[in-house]
C-alpha cells in the first residue's frame, strides 16, 4: 500500500473498472456521504439500471497499515456476514451484491427513500404549523403510531435472527416508499398525499457495529440506544416510543425478558447521568 495515496481522495479501485459493454456512457459514481469510518457512493457500476450503494473504508493514515488493513477487513467481512444472515431470515436490510474485505469495499442494494428521522421530523413540523391558533385540537397520530409499529417490528425481526445492530437510530432506518399503484402512470399524485409521507417499508441499514448475540442484555442495550436517540431526535414524539416497544413485544417471542432487562439498563443510565 503506497502511503502517499492515503491523503488523496481517490474512489476505490473497483469503481474505476469498466464492467459495462459500452461503459463510456455509464454515469460516474456519486459520493453520498463521507463519514468518520468511510464513504458511501451511489453507483450504477454493476448494472446500468440498478443503482448500488458502495461502502468504502479507505486506509487510515494514522493507523499502523498492517493493523488497519486487518481491522477494516474483519469489520467489513462481519458486516457483510450479518447482512446476509438478516437477508436469509427475512429481515428488511440491503442485499449484499459483492464484497472485497481486503480492498475495503462492499457493494449492496441501493435503498430508495429517506431516513425515518427525516420523515418523522417533517411530519411533526407540519403538524406543529397546523396546530397554531386552535388550542386543544387533537391531532391524528395514527400514521406516526403506525410507523412506530413498523420500527418495532423491524427491530423484533432483527433480534429474532440473533443479531443486535449496535447503533440503532432513526437515521439508520430507511423508509422505502411503496411502489406506485399500477394505474398511476406518472406517479405524481402527491398533492393530498401528506398522510402518505410516513408510509413505506422500514429498512435497517449501517451494520458496521452489528454483532451476533442472543443475550437479553445486548438486545436491551440495542433498544435503549434507540430509545435515547429517539428522545433526542424527536422530543415531541417521545411518548410514542411506547408503540415501538409494544410492537417489538408482539413481533418477538422472547421480548418480555428483554423488556425487563431494559428497565435495568435504563436505571443504570440514570445513575450514570446523576453521577455526571
**Where on the chain is the footprint of ligand ATP (CB under 6 A)?**
32-33, 35-38, 40, 53, 94, 108-111, 115, 171, 205-206, 208
CB nearer to ligand ATP: pick between 210 and 245? 210
C-alpha cell at 80: 457483510
CB nearer to ligand ATP: pick between 152 and 166? 166
Residue number with the smallest Cβ distance to ligand ATP: 35
Distance CA 210, CA 228 (A): 18
DSSP 206: -
Q: How far is the CB of 260 from ligand ATP (least distance, A)?
A: 30
Distance CA 269, CA 276 (A): 11
Q: How far is the CB of 117 from ligand ATP (least distance, A)?
A: 9
Q: How far is the CB of 83 from ligand ATP (least distance, A)?
A: 10
Residues 6+ apart with CB under 8 A from 254: 159, 216
Q: How many CB atoms lie within 10 A of CB 272?
A: 9
Task: Quickly list DSSP for 68-93.
Answer: HHHHHHHHHHHHHHHHHHHHHTT---
Q: How far is the CB of 170 from ligand ATP (least distance, A)?
A: 11
CB nearer to ligand ATP: pick between 108 and 245? 108
**Contact, 163 vs 208, CB < 8 A?**
no
CB nearer to ligand ATP: pick between 110 and 252? 110
How many CA atoms lie less than 13 Å away from 176 in the CB half-sphere?
Answer: 13
Residues involved in catalysis = 167
Q: How many CB atoms lie within 10 A of CB 223?
A: 25
Amino acid at each position: 500500500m503506497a502511503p502517499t495515496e492515503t491523503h488523496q481522495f481517490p474512489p476505490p479501485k473497483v469503481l474505476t473498472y469498466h464492467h459495462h459493454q459500452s461503459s463510456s456512457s455509464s454515469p460516474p459514481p456519486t459520493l453520498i456521504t463521507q463519514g468518520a469510518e468511510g464513504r458511501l457512493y451511489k453507483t450504477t457500476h454493476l448494472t446500468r439500471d440498478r443503482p448500488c450503494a458502495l461502502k468504502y473504508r479507505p486506509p487510515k493514515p494514522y493507523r499502523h497499515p498492517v493493523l488497519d488493513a486487518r481491522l477494516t477487513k474483519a469489520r467489513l467481512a462481519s458486516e457483510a456476514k450479518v447482512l446476509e444472515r438478516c437477508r436469509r431470515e427475512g429481515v428488511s436490510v440491503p442485499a449484499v451484491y459483492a464484497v472485497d474485505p481486503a480492498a475495503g469495499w462492499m457493494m449492496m442494494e441501493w435503498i430508495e427513500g429517506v431516513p425515518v428521522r427525516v420523515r418523522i421530523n417533517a411530519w411533526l413540523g407540519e403538524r406543529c404549523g397546523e396546530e397554531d391558533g386552535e388550542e386543544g385540537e387533537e391531532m391524528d397520530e395514527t400514521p406516526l403510531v403506525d410507523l412506530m409499529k413498523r420500527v418495532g417490528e423491524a427491530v423484533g425481526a432483527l433480534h429474532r435472527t440473533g443479531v443486535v445492530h449496535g447503533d440503532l437510530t432513526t437515521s439508520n432506518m430507511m423508509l422505502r416508499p411503496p411502489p406506485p399503484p399500477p394505474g398511476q402512470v406518472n406517479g405524481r399524485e402527491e398533492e393530498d398525499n401528506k398522510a402518505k409521507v410516513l408510509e413505506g417499508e422500514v429498512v435497517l441499514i449501517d451494520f458496521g457495529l452489528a454483532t451476533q448475540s442472543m443475550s437479553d442484555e445486548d438486545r436491551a442495550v440495542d433498544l435503549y440506544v434507540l430509545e435515547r436517540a429517539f428522545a433526542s431526535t424527536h422530543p415531541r414524539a417521545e411518548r410514542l416510543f411506547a408503540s415501538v416497544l409494544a410492537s417489538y413485544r408482539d413481533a418477538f417471542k422472547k421480548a418480555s425478558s428483554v423488556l425487563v432487562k431494559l428497565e435495568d439498563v435504563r436505571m443504570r443510565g440514570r445513575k450514570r447521568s446523576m453521577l455526571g
